[in-house]
A and B are shown apart, each in its own frame.
Chain A
Amino acid sequence: MTPFTLARPASLEAARRAFSGDAAFLAGGHTLIPAMKSGLRAVDTLVDLTRIPGLDSIRRDGDRLIVGAMARHAAVAASPVVAGAIPGLARLAAGIGDPQVRRRGTIGGSIANNDPAADYPAAVLALDAVIETSEGTHAADDFFQGMFATALADGEIITAVQFRIPEAFAYAKFRHPASRYALAGVAVARFPEGVRVAVTGVAYAVFRWTEAEAALSADLAASLPALERDDINSDIHASADYRAHLAGVMLDRARKEIQP
């Protein structure tokens, strides 16, 4: 690993100040440290966010579930507040990686990274979330901008994710048996005005499946559309046709869980 200096600020303001030059924030480190070990990434300064108080809180505020950026996957999986508001989100967190990964990895790190096969981005998008940062807020619809790309500016820190509490939410994932990431993951949220559907693992970045949204908003038992896009990923793990088919199977599983 290329040497770097680690800053461990105790406040958000100090973290913003510590971020200068060639720097990165460190949350759970379960994406960043492997990337640095393999030489994919090198920085001069790492700014550790773990000492900033309050960033890992999980609370409900009216029709919103607010999950702090530093909430670990294991904490979300075990939280009674999450289980009460959006139980499918607790199940999603419990299905990320393995227990050791879940004890370190955070929601903020996962969405800042925006891996095309990560789980949380699908939930954030389907649940019409608002991403709170040190500089303001982003709507989920504008936040995810392509493979590993987000609306975050250099030095901008995610502080929390505000999920809109739906009438029902489900996430179905076909996991890669070795990595546990999604070969296809479909998140479905039922709101009074309609259904939102987000898909991960299938294309180069998470996306909303608008044809499925239209079909399910009209009738939850509708016959489902086939997924047609020109950016479906094809690799040694699965061909584009297979991934598109899996997305349909996962959509069918998830929609069965959100029936009234």
Chain B
Amino acid sequence: MKVNGTERAADAPDHRLLVDWLREDLGLTGTHVGCTTSQCGACNVMVDGEVVKACTVLVASCADSEVVTIEGLGTPEALHPMQAAFRAAHGLQCGFCTPGMVMAGIAIAHAHGPDVPEATIRHALEGNLCRCTGYQNIVAAIRQGARAMAEAGLLGEPA
């Protein structure tokens, strides 16, 4: 499988969760574990372009897949437009939920395009919990980020 563009052997026991393998074996601790019960979305990563909860996926199920984590999106010097929007709109406080929120935001931009209405964003964030911000700035960040992704040519035709 590929993780953030690098070939990796999925050399984990069959019952290993993707999130534990990423964090503990590969040291990619940007993907967080909030609830472990499939509710909070802090563990969101991209598997073959689709944002899913890594605490509810087996490594063994990803044997031929391409996984992208928060570390694979941008660099501190060149943030991904969605990351940059979270910074600009102050879409975080403690930052615990942020990797999952950024992933969810990217999925929302791909699904709904650059002019995604606020209500659609709120509805699409049902699987992401934040205990700090009250969501207001997260929603604003995703609106900005979706527009920035379109300007950077990262969005195809909206579905």
A interface residues with partner B (beta carbon < 8 Å): 1-6, 8, 26, 29-30, 33-34, 36-38, 46, 48, 50, 78, 97-101, 103-104, 178, 180
Contacts and interface: CB of A to CB of B under 8 A. Distances in A.
B61 A50 contact: yes
Interface string B126-146: 111000000000000000000
Contacts of B53: 100-101, 104
A26 B60 CA distance: 12
B81 interface: no
A36 B111 CA distance: 31
Interface stretch (B10-18, B23-31, B71-79, B84-92): B10-18
B15 A103 contact: no
Contacts, number: 75
Contact of A3 (B15, B57, B107, B159): B15
21 contacts: A1-B15, A1-B17, A2-B15, A3-B14, A6-B58, A8-B60, A29-B57, A29-B61, A30-B38, A34-B37, A34-B56, A37-B55, A99-B111, A100-B44, A100-B53, A100-B127, A101-B38, A101-B53, A101-B127, A104-B52, A104-B56
A46 B127 CA distance: 26
A100 B51 contact: yes
B146 to A, nearest CB: 15
B79 to A, nearest CB: 23
Nearest to B53: A100
B104 interface: yes
A37 B36 contact: yes
A78 B159 contact: yes
Contact of B58 (A2, A29, A100, A180): A29
B49 to A, nearest CB: 10
B51 A99 contact: yes
Given A4-B14, A46-B14, A99 B56 contact: no
Contacts of A180: 126
A29 B127 contact: no
